[in-house]
Amino acid sequence: MPRFKITIEYDGTGLVGWQRQDNGPSVQAALEKAAAAITGQRYDVLIQGAGRTDAGVHALGQVAHFDLQQDFDPYRMPLAFNAHLPDAIRVTDAEQVDDDFHARFHATARAYRYRILNRRVASAIERGFVWHIHHPLDRDAMQAAADRLIGSHDFSTFRATHCQALSPVKTLDVLRIEDEPQGLAVIAEARSFLHHQIRNITGTLVQVGLGKWTADDVSDALAAKSRAAGGPTAPPDGLYLTSVSYDGVPEEKD
**231-252: per-residue pLDDT in tens?**
999 999 999 999 999 986 445 4
pLDDT of residue 41: 66
Q: Model-level pTM?
A: 0.94
The sign of the CA dihedral 141, 239, 162, 6 is: negative
Is residue 54 annotated as a catalytic residue, yes or no?
yes
User: Which residues of the chain does CATH 3.30.70.660 include?
Assistant: 109-245
Give, to the nearest 10 degrees, the angle between helix 215-224 and helix 197-209: 150
User: For the chain, which ranges sit under pLDDT 50?
Assistant: 249-250, 252-254
User: Which residues of the chain does CATH 3.30.70.580 include?
Assistant: 3-97
Q: In whole angstroms, how far apart are CA 172 and each of 153, 229, 242? A: 8, 19, 16
pLDDT of residue 253: 47
Which is the catalytic residue, given 11, 54, 173, 220? Answer: 54
Amino acid at 228: A
Per CATH, which fold does 109-245 belong to? Alpha-Beta Plaits (3.30.70)
Q: In whole angstroms, how far apart are CA 177 and each of 113, 128, 199? A: 10, 21, 14
What is the maximal distance between C-alpha atoms in the chain? 59
Q: Quickly list H helices, the chain.
A: 27-39, 77-82, 139-147, 197-209, 215-224
Q: Which CATH architecture has domain 3-97?
A: 2-Layer Sandwich (3.30)
